[in-house]
Amino acid sequence: MKLQIHKNYKIKSDSELVDLLRDKKRISEKAFEAIFDRYSYNVNAYVRTVIGDADDSADIFQETFIRFYNNIINGAEITNLQSYLIKISRNLCLNYKRDKKNNVEVEDFHKIVNEENFYENQELLEIVMRALDLMDDKYKEAFVLKKIDGMKFEEVANVLDLTLEGAKTRVNRARIKLLEILDPYIKDLEFKDK
Amino acid sequence: MNINELILEFIDGSSTPEMDKSLFNELANNEVAQQKLKKFIEIENSFVTGNSYFQPSAESVNQVFTQLGFKKTGLFGALPFLQSNFIRYSVPAVMTTLMFVFTYNYFFNDDDKNNLTNSKNNLATFTSPQINNVIETNKNNDLNNGMGKNNKLSKINENNLNNISNNTVKYIYKEKFVAVGNNGNMQYFDNKDDLKEYFDSNLKNETPEKSKFSFQNVIEINESDIFENSLSITNLNNNGLNNFENKEYSNLSIKEESNFEFTINFFPTFDLKSSTMNPEKLSSFNQLGFNALYKVTDKFKLGLEIQQETFLQKFEEDDEFNRTLIYTQRPNFTNIGAVVKYNILDKIFVYTSVGTNTEFSGVYNRVRLGREFYNIFPLDFDAGIEHSALHYSFNNNRYSSFKFGIFFGVKF
């Protein structure tokens, strides 16, 4: 008989893993690890994009999973695990942002990107993330949920408490805005590797 | 619907046939639309290729698990730069080896240092009158022009003495027969019959007694014979040359010994846990291994090994209904590890290794106690007993499998 070690919890569904979180500690620990491995990237992507600051976003990322675990232990019922995690992190981000103002201006972005051949030395993703900082949070988070976390428009609408059409509009406006900001810098790129 | 919306619907795969038709018409005639499509795709692609960009830091991961009282699977589970299985298992292997080397040097190396000092002292005796006389005799007979042409012993002098340790030389002893001409030219033969044949065919009218040729035995000094128990020049002096005194000798040859040792091993072993479990298919090279060692000192060698072998694994887990499931398997492993070999006596050695397998499913360690045999058939061998273990984890529980057996190695 051949057996893949360490794989069994990774093939369980979200709802199975959530149920196992309430089991005895040894099983709960393994279920949590499987959930963490499955969604930590998505949560971190959302928090990093919305918050920007690496230290603050790390705090919110950690708090998200600790709150999630405690909520489940205390009997919280969930239907969509990823959306639930993102909602926790979103609430934490909103609390954090309440007293903060995004002071980045378009001129600042152009200045940063033009300095020291920034564009030539950075991955396009890095530049896109800088450009996202210029947007309102409502567009930024819609964009990251759809394009980075890979959510469906229905899930984006659920997390952001929007209609399906509203979620779609926000994501597409973010994409168009992003293109406008990056347009001068993508000109030189133009499929250079192709 | 404007061109932006058409492009985005198309990229999302949610466009209708009518939208597609409008988009393609626009793209056919509008260069700006073509550029927009390319740029939208380029931005979308940046998220596909930047997959590690949002990976949480090791510190964040550790914080989460620590605050919940959990631990991440694996020794370095939460450290991204150590999350590669190879790194996870090779780091302890390297660390163990370094600890052994440190311990060895700290506690035992004085002995080796003394040996080295002694060997230099021994080399010093090489300059004693007795030995010098041997060399002079050789020179007088012009024998160094023959077999001793590459002979190192004759090149040793007080100036280079400190650069030569007895770890670098090996003595070869073999009796040969030589015909030495009056002009000093020599012809060597392995036995007297060959010598006679030479004379019969080339010097028909000359007998040894009458000819310009003289006969001598040529002696090479062989570690496995008269110097079996020693590599020191002192013993060469005290034992070897005394043995020579009653013989006619004409040469003294010293060969340089390589600092590398390569061995192919066969190691039949059995599991200490009883089991009827047999692999579906055994590797063609099962219980065969290869190691390459570097001689750090005369007694101490470091290197690498690669071996094909099986370990019986038994592990268990509780299912969701609190039933305990026991799993048994015996996979074919290709194990790669770091090796330390130490000669505790002249030919008795301890061999230890630690490493992982190519599937990175655990860490193994091996201990061997063996004896070396030289110049048989005419190869070198070693053989002895071994004990090995594989340590692995399953669902955060740690398990070990043990084997015991013998090994047999051919060196080259």
Q: B120, B161 in Cβ contact below 8 A?
A: yes
**Residue that finishes a domain, picked among A100, A123, A149:** A100
What pLDDT, on a 0 to 100 scale, did the predictor assign at position B335? 93
| B277-324 pLDDT, tens digit each | 666 677 778 889 999 999 888 789 999 999 999 888 888 877 666 677
**Which residues of A, range 1-30, sit inside 8 Å of B by Cβ?**
1-3, 5-6, 8, 20, 23, 26-27, 29-30
Token representation of residue B179: 């015909």
Residue A158 lies in a domain: yes
* CA B404/CA B271 separation, integer angstroms: 7
* CA B297/CA B349 separation, integer angstroms: 14
Residue A149 lies in a domain: yes
Q: Which of A30, A125, A186 is facing B395, going by the closest CB pair?
A: A30
Is residue B161 very low, low, confident or very high in pLDDT (cuts 50, 70, 90)? very low
What pLDDT, on a 0 to 100 scale, did the predictor assign at position B135? 31
Q: What is the predicted ipTM?
A: 0.81
DSSP-derived letter for residue B240 is I
- Residues A19 and A82 grouped into a single domain: yes
- Residues A42 and A61 grouped into a single domain: yes
The CATH number for A176's domain is 1.10.10.10
Q: Which of A135, A147, A105, A55 is nearest to B57 (CA)?
A: A55
> Which residues, other chains included, contact B300 with Cβ-Cβ below 8 Å and sequence gap of 6+?
B104, B112, B340, B341, B342, B343
Q: What is the pTM of this model?
A: 0.45
Is residue B154 very low, low, confident or very high in pLDDT (cuts 50, 70, 90)? very low
CA-based nearest distance A98→chain B, Å: 24
- Residues A44 and A128 grouped into a single domain: no
DSSP-derived letter for residue B68 is T
- Residues A153 and A107 grouped into a single domain: yes
- Residues A90 and A115 grouped into a single domain: no
Token representation of residue B334: 């290709």
- Residues A82 and A134 grouped into a single domain: no
Is residue B97 very low, low, confident or very high in pLDDT (cuts 50, 70, 90)? low
Helix axes A153-160, A81-98, angle to 10 degrees: 40
Asked whether residue B123 carries a pLDDT value surpassing 60, the answer given is: no
| B219-270 pLDDT, tens digit each | 444 333 323 333 334 334 344 333 433 333 333 333 345 788 889 998 888 8
**Residue that finishes a domain, picked among A35, A70, A100:** A100
Residue whose token pair is 């506690």: B107
Q: In sequence order, what are the beta bridge partners of B293?
A: B261, B303
- Residues A57 and A79 grouped into a single domain: yes
| CB half-sphere exposure, B387, CA atoms < 13 A | 6
Domain B86-107+259-411 classification at class level: mainly beta
Most B CBs within 10 A among A69, A124, A149, A189, hence the mutation to make, goes to A124
Residue A1 lies in a domain: no
- Structural domain boundaries in chain B: 3-49, 86-107+259-411, 112-256
What pLDDT, on a 0 to 100 scale, did the predictor assign at position A106? 58
Residue A2 lies in a domain: no
Is residue B79 very low, low, confident or very high in pLDDT (cuts 50, 70, 90)? very low
A81 is in which domain, residue-wise? 7-100
Residue A31 lies in a domain: yes
- Residues A96 and A109 grouped into a single domain: no
The CATH number for A65's domain is 1.10.1740.10
Q: Is A152 left (phi over 0), alpha (psi -120 to 50) or beta?
A: beta
Low-confidence ranges of chain A (pLDDT < 70): 1-8, 99-123, 186-194
- Residues A110 and A192 grouped into a single domain: yes
Asked whether residue B35 carries a pLDDT value surpassing 90, the answer given is: no
> A21 to chain B: nearest residue by CA?
B320
Residues of B in contact with A44 (CB under 8 A): 54-56, 60
> B40 to chain A: nearest residue by CA?
A179
Residues of A in contact with B396 (CB under 8 A): 26, 29-30
Q: What is the mean pLDDT of residues B342-361?
A: 87
Report the 10 Å Cβ neighbour count for B14.
11
What pLDDT, on a 0 to 100 scale, did the predictor assign at position B101? 62
Answer with the residue of higher pLDDT: A6 or B9.
Answer: B9
**Residue that finishes a domain, picked among A100, A116, A138:** A100
- Residues A95 and A142 grouped into a single domain: no
Q: What's the distance, CA A164 to chain centroid?
A: 19
Q: Check CB contact under 8 Å for A44 and B56.
A: yes
Asked whether residue B126 carries a pLDDT value surpassing 70, the answer given is: no
Number of structural domains (chain A) is 2
CA-based nearest distance A21→chain B, Å: 12
**Which residues of B, range 302-321, sit inside 8 Å of A by Cβ?**
315, 317-318, 320
Q: How many CB pairs below 8 A link A and B?
A: 115
Q: Which of B181, B252, B264, B177 is nearest to B220 (CA)?
A: B252
- Residues A57 and A142 grouped into a single domain: no
> Which residues, other chains included, contact B336 with Cβ-Cβ below 8 Å and sequence gap of 6+?
B304, B305, B306, B355, B356, B357, B358
- Residues A112 and A192 grouped into a single domain: yes
DSSP-derived letter for residue A135 is S
Q: Check CB contact under 8 Å for B47 and A41.
A: no
> B5 to chain A: nearest residue by CA?
A172
> B2 to chain A: nearest residue by CA?
A176
Residue A174 lies in a domain: yes
Token representation of residue B354: 């630690």
Q: Which long-range contacts (CB under 8 A, 24 or more apart) does B240-246 make?
A: B240/B171, B241/B130, B241/B131, B241/B134, B244/B134, B244/B219
Q: Check CB contact under 8 Å for A125 and B55.
A: no
CA-based nearest distance A1→chain B, Å: 6
Most B CBs within 10 A among A2, A5, A20, hence the mutation to make, goes to A5
Q: Is the minimum CB–CB distance between B61 and chain A shorter than 8 Å? A: yes
Q: Which of B63, B70, B320 is facing A29, going by the closest CB pair?
A: B70
Q: Check CB contact under 8 Å for A125 and B49.
A: yes
